[in-house]
Amino acid sequence: MKKILFTYIILVSLQTSAQKKEVLDSLPYKVEDYTFVKPGDTLTIKFDEITLLPKPKFKSREDIRYYLWFTRKVFKAYPYAKLASERLDTLNARLSRIPSKSKKRKYTTLIQRYIEGEFTDQIKKMTKTEGRILIKLIHRQTGKTAFNNIRGLRSGWRAFWYNTTANLFKLSLKDEYQPEKENEDFLIEYILQQAFQKDLLKRQPSKLKFDFQKIIIDKKAQIDVQVYKDMFAKIRKRKK
């Protein structure tokens, strides 16, 4: 009797194992991607925070065209701001582990040249609008304006020179990212949030604190692109 019972237990165990294997083999992705919960277990799931975006409101079809044009500009600038934030985070983390001031200066110079080599050629190809968006996004991603980031890597005089040069192109490295106040910054943030939700851009949290959910409610999701319409009107007028 004992032998029969033992044989039965073995057969049931093997059948159960085979069923589990069949279930595991039928699952997509890796087994590690799943959590198996037994009766009585407590499972806590942490969801990523998302911003619920109301449908944008446009005054005309023409406004939609200008909005799509601006969206392309944001998509071009954002990866460089994201990369700048990653490089500066790496720099600061490594500097905190270097005790010698002279070695810190050498390492900072090395990273400075590397960052310049990584960005210079691409930034030169940017339009003024893309450059302005990039400057604002650098503030969003790093928590510091482009001016202050440069001053941290270079002398104050060089930072001043950079700022003066940028102003010649009607750009200021001291520009801040203020989606709650500036219409252009609101448009940038709206475009980013949409892109993050659709997985068109890789999300990188802002180092600035602002409640975009409240901002978009206050704005009533109204998309204002009049400044760009005026800009192109002037360009067309000059061409005539």
State residue 87's pLDDT score.
Answer: 85
CB 78 within 8 A of CB 201: yes
d(CA 192, CA 197): 9
Half-sphere exposure (CA, 13 Å, Cβ side) for 210?
21
Rounded to 5 degrees, what angle do the CA atoms 222, 227, 230 make?
Answer: 130
State residue 3's pLDDT score.
Answer: 42
d(CA 238, CA 115): 37
Residue 16: partners with Cβ closer than 8 Å, 6 or more residues away: none
pTM, rounded to two decimals:
0.75
**pLDDT of the chain, 240 residues: tens digit per residue:** 444 443 433 434 444 444 444 444 444 444 444 444 555 555 454 555 555 788 889 999 999 999 999 999 999 999 999 998 998 888 888 888 998 888 888 887 777 777 777 777 777 788 989 999 999 999 999 999 988 887 776 655 566 667 666 776 678 889 999 999 999 999 999 999 999 999 999 999 999 999 999 999 998 889 999 999 999 998 888 887
CB 19 within 8 A of CB 25: no
